[in-house]
Structure 1
């Protein structure tokens, strides 16, 4: 274990995505908490939520597996709520044009450290609140996220982010942990012209059956579907 910042402990683990090994620094457990300057509290991150960003969750494994197969050619990709950044690291390894984002004040440092652990170039990172516009972020062909529908209002917040940052023709892939808000998100994206795909979700594999209860929500918007909405 190492303690790169006083107040919390970390550990390194190895996970496999389609047979490719990725090294990750994660928090040692869910009891870790360190917010000496009050940055997390000012952002609305409670002590109970503080450590959640720093773990590899089943939905994160599922999304990372999907990113091993998704089309990246000529596409700009945004990850929302990247946490430790496995999905963005998979995309970076494949040479994708990817931007990772999160609200947690330590996500940037963990992402940079994990890129270095895997001998990858640093992933472009933006600190991002879902409830505040960020025009300088620009527009994307694909937005991805994992386990981000964990509160009632998140379906609306995320759909607003999608509305602000997707091109007229775009895709959204969310790895849903089954917390009960997937249907609301589907309806919100439908109002923006995004339709659920039918049977063409990217393949997703990891360390065996390590994504219980998770599913990929995959949406696509074309010019025709946008006009219909």
Structure 2
């Protein structure tokens, strides 16, 4: 029996309508075996994965504009995996990753809601030894994945391991303070950087950043 409440969110991304099952609110919590806490998800952060954040919607909308058919793409910190669903519909070879123990369950449920085939999922904890057997990816995407100070270094390591020699990285951020450190690390690893701005509700106008890095 589920011990948390959910809701269905309907939204349109590009030319398609999507149905997403999300947690009802940020007050939801259920970790009887402390599985999430062992995975590095403290109680105060437990419900974060299950929200549909504006940065995730913006990233998915950007992806929907692109021709990604046949591209090998990694979504990091996928949460509800809206971007992975958009990528799957667009014909990409996508792998979704997260550290939350319920992310895979929500991903597969949401794929079913949208009549999509099962999206491959890998549990990925940036703090642990990363699984090099995943191989290399043409594109790496993520939204709001730089919300802690050490995430700039950890994300740099993730990109360094999984990005192909000629790769693109798309990261949507609501305007947190760790973007500069991460971009600097990426430039040192041979990437070039451009970014565009967008507005995020509840934050200063145009505080959101879509960072696009290529090499």
What is the CA distance between 1:212 and its match in structure 2? Answer: 6.3
Residue 121 of structure 1 corresponds to which residue in structure 2? 117
Q: Does 1:173 align with 2:174?
A: no
What is the CA distance between 1:156 and its match in structure 2? Answer: 0.6
Q: TM-score, normalised by structure 2?
A: 0.92
Residue 86 of structure 1 corresponds to which residue in structure 2? 82
1:179-207 Cα distance to aligned partner (Å, 9 max, x none) = 111111100111111111377x9xx9xxx
Q: Aligned pairs, how many?
A: 208
Q: 1:195 aligns with which of 192, 195, 199?
A: 192
Q: What is the alpha-carbon distance in structure 2 between the residues aligned to residue 213 and residue 59 of structure 1?
A: 11
Q: What is the alpha-carbon distance in structure 1 between the residues aligned to residue 44 and residue 11 of structure 2?
A: 26
Residue 71 of structure 1 corresponds to which residue in structure 2? 67
1:93-138 Cα distance to aligned partner (Å, 9 max, x none) = 1111100000000000000000000000011110101122111211
Distance 1:39 1:87, change over 3 A: same
Unpaired segments of 5 or more residues in structure 1?
205-210, 222-229
Q: What is the alpha-carbon distance in structure 1 between the residues aligned to residue 206 and residue 59 of structure 2?
A: 13
Q: What is the alpha-carbon distance in structure 2 between the residues aligned to residue 81 and residue 123 of structure 1?
A: 15
Secondary structure of the residue aligned to 1:48 is helix
Greater Cα shift, 85-94 or 64-73: 64-73
Q: Is the 8 A contact 2:14 2:65 kept in 1?
A: no
Q: Does 1:213 align with 2:207?
A: yes
Q: Is the 8 A contact 1:58 1:214 kept in 2?
A: no
Q: TM-score, normalised by structure 1?
A: 0.87
1:60-116 Cα distance to aligned partner (Å, 9 max, x none) = 001100110233144210000000010000011111110000000000000000000
Unpaired segments of 5 or more residues in structure 2?
199-204
Secondary structure of the residue aligned to 1:197 is strand
Alignment of 1:1-229 (within 5 A): 5-132=1-128, 133-197=130-194, 213-221=207-215
Q: What is the alpha-carbon distance in structure 1 between the residues aligned to residue 20 and residue 206 of structure 2?
A: 21
Secondary structure of the residue aligned to 2:96 is strand
Q: CA RMSD in A?
A: 1.8
